[in-house]
């Protein structure tokens, strides 16, 4: 796929030493046993409060995260912006336990919204529902139309963040979580869209297209928005919790909510891209993927529909530290690209880093793709030195 192949553009901002470190890390992540063992040790260290920042920060943290604070992340935002790549500063805390911790997370998220407001290179804000939910709230809400104080507190936090983003005119993306939490999140997103998406998409829901019910959901959500006359915004992803979902469904004896194979997930993702483009008059699309075929399809369909590359309703996004060959090359062709840039205290980001390591644990998969392009660039640099 020609557009993605220019490694000089992809790694322009990376020194030889950065590339060497990335190569070592992706190679190590390509050994599933090693990745599994490291993830287990990290989880144990986290539980026992054993400090591991000294080993994590200069290695995987540096590869996949913007820093421990917004201020540190700003340096990365500025560096990406030199190549027309924007950022979504993502305070990547998950599952906070005390009210005090949740309050701190909400303050951090509103600070990231102010940061977006002040930085043209940061066109979106984001939050993860589990980070603002009192313990047990999402589990309870999944089981009934619950009105317990925990669930009400979650709703209040959710509404507050959408309102804060809307007041500043900063679009906000709500990350998708495991299926059994998702109903209350979907319901809140729908209400917030109706309230705040009157002139354009401010609130974006995330659809995990590995779920076999999501294409229908998308169709209905767009239909509802047409009927009630508001805009919709969707971040489309394939989904990050496939193993947990299948395991839970097996254990609890209900049918798996996930497509039976990768091909059906791919088809659903691509169909959702097309559905969003077909409804672009009222829908904004944020395609969160490292999949070249899906992005190629997006670009072809945009061209066929005479949609400008930099149409503000369409973004593609990759995670920081991954698929730079896609992000920087698309940006060089004027497509809107925003890297998801997680930041926060290292102990908060361990679950995120474990997911990244697990995602990269096959040389036949993502880590192989990363290594392929890093090796091509290393060879190109050697030839021209």
Ligand X SMILES: Cc1cc2nc3c(=O)[nH]c(=O)nc-3n(C[C@H](O)[C@H](O)[C@H](O)COP(=O)(O)OP(=O)(O)OC[C@H]3O[C@@H](n4cnc5c(N)ncnc54)[C@H](O)[C@@H]3O)c2cc1C
Binds ligand X by CB under 6 A, chosen from 56, 131, 176, 268: 176
Q: Which of 97-105, 255-263, 297-305, 327-335 is the region at the interface with ligand X (rule: CB under 6 A)? A: 255-263
Q: In terms of CB distance, is 102 or 237 closer to ligand X?
A: 237
Q: Is 240 in the site for ligand X (CB under 6 A)?
A: yes
Region 331-370 residues binding ligand X, contact defined as CB under 6 A: 340, 366
Least distance (Å) between residue 247 CB and ligand X: 14
Let me know how long the chain is. Answer: 385
Asked whether position 257 contacts ligand X by CB under 6 A, the answer is: no
Q: How close are the terminal C-alpha atoms of the chain, in Å?
A: 27
Closest CA to 206 of 136, 299, 129, 123: 129
Should residue 87 be labelled a site residue for ligand X when binding is judged by CB under 6 A? no
Residue number with CB closer to ligand X (148 or 362)? 362
- Nearest residue (CB) to ligand X, 110 versus 316: 316
The CA dihedral of 29, 15, 86, 56, to the nearest 10 degrees, is 40
| Distance separating alpha carbons of residues 171 and 174, to the nearest angstrom | 10
| DSSP category for residue 157 | H
Q: Which two tokens stand for residue 324?
A: 């730079």
3-state secondary structure the chain: CHHHCCHHHHCCCCCHHHHHHHHHHHHHHCCHHHHHHHHHHHHHHHHCCCCCHHHHHHHHHHHHCCECCHHHHHHHHHHHHCCCCEEEEEECCCCCCCHHHHHHHHHHHHHHHHHHHHCCCCCCEEECHHHHCCCCHHHHHHHCCCCCHHHHHHHHHHHHHHHHHHHHCCCEEECCCCHHHHHHHHHHHHHHHHHHCCCCCCEEEEEECCECCHHHHHHHHHHHHHHHCCCEEEEEECCCCHHHHHHHHHHHCCCCCECCCHHHHHHHHHHHHHHHHHCCCCEEEEEECCCHHHHHHHHHHHHHCCCCCCCCCEEEECECCCCHHHHHHHHHCCCCEEEEEEECCHHHHHHHHHHHHHHCCCCCCHHHHHHHHHHHHHHHHHHHC
Residue 202 or 236: the one with the smaller Cβ distance to ligand X is 236
Q: Which of 30, 239, 321, 342 binds ligand X (CB under 6 A)?
A: 239
The minimum distance between CB 257 and ligand X, in angstroms, equals 11
Q: Minimum distance between the CB of residue 367 and ligand X, rounded to whole angstroms?
A: 11
Find the shortest distance in angstroms from Cβ 265 to ligand X. Answer: 4
Question: Cβ of residue 360: shortest distance to ligand X, in angstroms?
Answer: 10
Question: With respect to ligand X, which residue has the nearer C-beta, 144 or 210?
Answer: 210
* CB-based contact 258:239 (threshold 8 Å): yes
**Per-residue x/- track, 284-313, ligand X (CB under 6 A):** ----xxxx----------------------
Q: In the window 309-328, what residues touch ligand X (CB under 6 A)?
A: 317-319
One residue of 96, 259, 325, 356 binding ligand X per CB under 6 A = 259
* Residues near ligand X (CB under 6 A), total: 25
Which CB atom, from 7 or from 205, has the smaller least distance to ligand X? Answer: 205
The footprint of ligand X on residues 178-237 (CB under 6 A) is 206, 208, 210, 237
Asked if 258 is part of the footprint of ligand X (rule: CB under 6 A), the reply reads yes
CB of 221 to ligand X, least distance (A): 16
Q: Which is nearer to ligand X, 58 or 250 (CB)?
A: 250
Among residues 185, 242, 302, 349, the one that binds ligand X under rule CB under 6 A? 242
Q: Which is nearer to ligand X, 166 or 360 (CB)?
A: 360
Report, in Å, the least distance between residue 127 CB and ligand X. 10
Residues 32 to 51: which contact ligand X by CB under 6 A?
none
- In the complex, which residues of this chain contact ligand X (CB under 6 A)? 175-176, 206, 208, 210, 237-242, 258-259, 261-262, 265, 288-291, 317-319, 340, 366
């Amino acid at each position: 796929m020609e557009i993605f192949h220019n490694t000089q553009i992809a790694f322009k901002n990376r020194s030889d030493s950065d590339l060497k470190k990335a190569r070592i890390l992706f190679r190590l992540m390509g050994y599933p046993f090693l990745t599994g063992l490291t993830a287990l040790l990290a989880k144990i260290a986290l539980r026992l409060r054993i400090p591991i920042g000294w080993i994590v920060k200069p290695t995987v943290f540096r590869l996949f995260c913007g820093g421990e604070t917004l201020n540190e992340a700003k340096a990365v935002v500025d560096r990406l912006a030199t190549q027309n790549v924007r950022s979504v500063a993502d305070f990547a805390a998950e599952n906070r336990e005390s009210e005090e911790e949740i309050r701190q997370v909400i303050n951090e998220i509103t600070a990231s919204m102010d940061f977006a407001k002040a930085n043209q290179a940061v066109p979106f804000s984001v939050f993860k529902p589990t980070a603002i939910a009192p313990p047990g709230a999402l589990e309870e809400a999944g089981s009934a139309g619950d009105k317990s104080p925990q669930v009400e507190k979650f709703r209040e936090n959710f509404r507050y963040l959408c309102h804060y983003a809307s007041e500043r005119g900063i679009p906000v993306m709500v990350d998708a979580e495991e299926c059994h939490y998702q109903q209350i999140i979907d319901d809140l997103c729908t209400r917030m869209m109706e309230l705040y998406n009157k002139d354009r998409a401010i609130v974006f829901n995330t659809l995990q297209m590995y779920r076999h019910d999501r294409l229908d959901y998308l169709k209905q959500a767009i239909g509802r928005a047409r009927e009630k006359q508001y805009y919709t915004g969707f971040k489309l992803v394939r989904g990050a919790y496939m193993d947990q979902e299948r395991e839970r469904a097996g254990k609890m004896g209900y049918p798996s909510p996930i497509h039976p194979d990768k091909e059906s997930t791919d088809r659903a993702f691509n169909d959702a891209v097309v559905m969003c483009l077909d409804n672009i008059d009222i829908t904004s699309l944020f395609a969160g993927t490292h999949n070249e075929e899906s992005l190629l399809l997006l670009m072809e369909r945009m061209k066929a529909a005479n949609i400008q590359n930099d149409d503000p309703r369409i973004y593609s996004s990759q995670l920081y530290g991954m698929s730079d060959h896609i992000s920087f090359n698309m940006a060089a062709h004027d497509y809107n690209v925003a890297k998801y840039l997680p930041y926060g205290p290292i102990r908060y980001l361990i679950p995120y880093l474990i997911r990244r390591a697990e995602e990269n644990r096959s040389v036949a998969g993502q880590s192989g793709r990363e290594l392929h392009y890093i090796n091509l660039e290393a060879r190109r640099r050697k030839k021209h030195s």
